[in-house]
């Protein structure tokens, strides 16, 4: 018998992936076999854009490999890439950011792991909204901390607000971990509310970590701002996967207060050495003018998909109490159809051959009533999925 570490007791299965495996299993059976009268599964369950890396990024990776530029980089990342990220914040968000505060990481997951390991001690509590991306709370648990999920409903845009943070703050509370825009809801924290949360946490000598991996994919100017505007003491996580379409390249970054750069670099040196050098060289091309034009074209395409799918779902009887202002997710209440979103999703896989994600992953508060639909798929697939759901319901 192998004795497992106790930290695994606090890490739940990633139900998103469990459902994905079930969808793939059904897809291999007769329900999805055209020869037996079936139809292919439509996957609206995984948050992966159908747009892949921009052509300039692929070309840059090819040049990098041909030139043999594949050696380790500094643990903090290529200086040129750190500078490019800093310049992007200035051009896109009007934030004057020193490149020395940026650390390139092996995806946003590595960034979150480094941040929580650097800041969370055994028994420390970190406040998160419920619903929220499950891995965020598991990073806290893996660092020995205790994630505290605070129910956040439509009135709060499924986000933490200052009142909830102040009420929940206790002797063991160390900080907050926010996401704006959020997975699974696609909602963001209003600028003024973010400022109030930051001030409340700062007054209690806590830390504020903000997951901004969907930041570029904002559709409402009222919400498309970075938390970095609220002070140099915030820790911000971002990624090349979503807005920049580099899923699978495993590349992200951290923006840190200057005082944290050296400690987090020490952790990164030991845990990761560095992020993929090929991915880093390729990512430099993300900031070329042609690439930025392409990313904005894609953002507009995602917005068009949102504008189609939200009213279509509402017409079918799904409740969407907060229209997503970013990312590519709709968090919909399916209690009109089923008492269990888990059962509902499996039912739609079998009857409509449409894969959705049940709310179980995202927290216990109302998770059994909600599903997450990803509109990262093509418009043609979304239209077909709506037609199938209509027939099944």
Residue range 25-34, pLDDT digits in tens: 999 999 998 8
Residue range 45-94, pLDDT digits in tens: 988 899 999 999 999 999 999 999 999 999 999 999 999 999 999 999 99
Note whether 195 and 178 are same-domain residues: yes
38 domain-assigned: yes
Mean pLDDT of the chain: 95
- Ranking 13-22, 112-121, 148-157, 210-219 by mean pLDDT, the lowest is 13-22
Question: Please, is 83 exposed, middle or buried when counting C-beta atoms within 10 Å of its C-beta (0-12, 13-18, 19+)?
Answer: middle
Query: Which helix (H) or strand (E) covers residue 103, if one does?
Result: strand 102-105
Average pLDDT over residues 157-173: 98
Query: 114: pLDDT confidence band, cut at 50, 70 and 90?
Result: very high
How far apart CA 104 and CA 96 sit, in angstroms, is 18
Average pLDDT over residues 149-167: 97
3-class state of residue 296 by DSSP: helix
Residue 117's pLDDT is what? 98
Query: 340: pLDDT confidence band, cut at 50, 70 and 90?
Result: very high
Note whether 132 and 197 are same-domain residues: yes
Note whether 202 and 221 are same-domain residues: yes
Residue 349's pLDDT is what? 95
2 domain-assigned: no
Q: What is the CATH number of the domain that holds 186?
A: 3.40.640.10
Note whether 275 and 210 are same-domain residues: yes
SS (H, E, C) 141-194: HHCCCEEEEEECCHHHCCCCCHHHHHHHCCCCEEEEEEECCCCCCCCCCCHHHH
Note whether 42 and 65 are same-domain residues: no
Residue 33's pLDDT is what? 87
Query: Which helix (H) or strand (E) covers residue 202, if one does?
Result: helix 191-203
Final residue belonging to a domain, choices 251, 286, 321: 286
Q: Which residues pair with 211 in a beta bridge?
A: 179, 237
**Is-contact 251 104, C-beta < 8 A?**
yes
Residue 37's pLDDT is what? 87
Note whether 88 and 133 are same-domain residues: yes
Note whether 22 and 65 are same-domain residues: no
Question: For the residues of 21-60, what is the DSSP string, one character each?
Answer: HHHHHHHTSGGG-GGGT--PPEE-SS---S--S-HHHHHH
Instruction: Please give the share of the chain, as a percent, with pLDDT higher than 70.
Output: 100
Average pLDDT over residues 329-333: 98
Q: Is the pLDDT at 192 greater than 90, yes or no?
A: yes
Q: Which residue has the higher pLDDT, 22 or 191?
A: 191
3 domain-assigned: no
Residue 94's pLDDT is what? 96
Residue 9's pLDDT is what? 83
Residue 15's pLDDT is what? 78
How far apart CA 76 and CA 87 sit, in angstroms, is 17
Final residue belonging to a domain, choices 261, 286, 311: 286
Note whether 300 and 282 are same-domain residues: no
Residue range 202-244, pLDDT digits in tens: 999 999 999 999 999 999 988 999 999 999 999 999 999 999 9
Instruction: Please give the share of the chain, as a percent, with pLDDT higher than 90.
Output: 89
Average pLDDT over residues 305-333: 97
Note whether 108 and 216 are same-domain residues: yes
Average pLDDT over residues 155-161: 96
Q: What is the CATH number of the domain that holds 28?
A: 3.90.1150.10
Note whether 232 and 101 are same-domain residues: yes
How far apart CA 20 and CA 361 sit, in angstroms, is 13
Average pLDDT over residues 377-393: 97
119 domain-assigned: yes
Rg, C-alpha atoms of the chain: 21
State the total domains in the chain: 2
Residue 43 structural domain: 8-52+291-392
Note whether 64 and 21 are same-domain residues: no
Query: Which helix (H) or strand (E) covers residue 15, if one does?
Result: helix 15-27
Note whether 348 and 371 are same-domain residues: yes
Residue 46's pLDDT is what? 86
Token code pair at residue 172: 């063991």
């Amino acid at each position: 018998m192998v004795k497992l570490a106790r930290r695994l007791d606090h890490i739940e299965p990633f139900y998103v992936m469990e459902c994905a495996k079930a969808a793939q299993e059904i897809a291999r059976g007769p329900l999805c076999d055209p020869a037996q009268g079936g139809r292919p599964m439509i996957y609206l369950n995984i948050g992966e854009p159908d747009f892949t890396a921009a052509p300039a990024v692929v070309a840059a990776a090819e040049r990098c490999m041909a030139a043999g530029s594949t050696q380790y980089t500094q643990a903090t990342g290529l200086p040129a890439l750190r500078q490019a990220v800093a310049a992007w914040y200035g051009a896109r968000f009007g934030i004057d950011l020193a490149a020395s505060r940026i650390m390139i990481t092996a995806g946003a997951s590595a960034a979150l792991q480094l941040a929580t390991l650097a800041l969370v001690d055994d028994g420390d509590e970190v406040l998160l909204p419920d619903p929220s991306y499950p891995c965020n709370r598991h990073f806290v648990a893996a660092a020995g901390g205790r994630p505290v999920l605070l129910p956040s409903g439509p009135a709060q845009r499924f986000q933490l607000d200052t009142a909830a943070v102040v009420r929940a703050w206790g002797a063991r509370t160390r900080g907050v971990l926010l996401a704006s825009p959020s997975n699974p809801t696609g909602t963001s924290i209003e600028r003024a509310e973010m400022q109030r949360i930051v001030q409340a946490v700062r007054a209690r000598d806590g830390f504020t970590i903000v997951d901004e991996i969907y930041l570029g994919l904002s559709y409402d100017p009222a919400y498309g701002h970075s938390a970095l505007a609220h002070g140099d003491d915030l820790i911000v996580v971002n990624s090349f996967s979503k807005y920049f379409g580099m899923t699978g390249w495993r590349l992200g970054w951290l923006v840190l207060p200057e005082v944290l750069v050296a400690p987090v670099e020490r952790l990164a040196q030991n845990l990761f050495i560095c992020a993929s050098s090929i991915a880093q060289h390729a990512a430099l091309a993300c900031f070329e003018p042609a690439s930025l034009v392409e990313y904005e074209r894609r953002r507009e395409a995602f917005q068009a998909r949102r504008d189609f799918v939200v009213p279509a779902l509402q017409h079918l009887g799904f409740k969407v109490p907060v229209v997503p202002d970013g990312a590519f997710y709709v968090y919909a209440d399916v209690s009109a159809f089923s008492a269990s979103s888990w059962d509902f999703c499996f039912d739609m896989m079998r009857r409509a051959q449409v894969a959705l994600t049940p709310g179980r992953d995202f927290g216990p508060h109302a998770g059994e009533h909600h599903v997450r639909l990803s509109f990262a798929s093509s418009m043609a697939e979304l239209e077909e999925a709506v037609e199938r759901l209509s027939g099944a319901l």
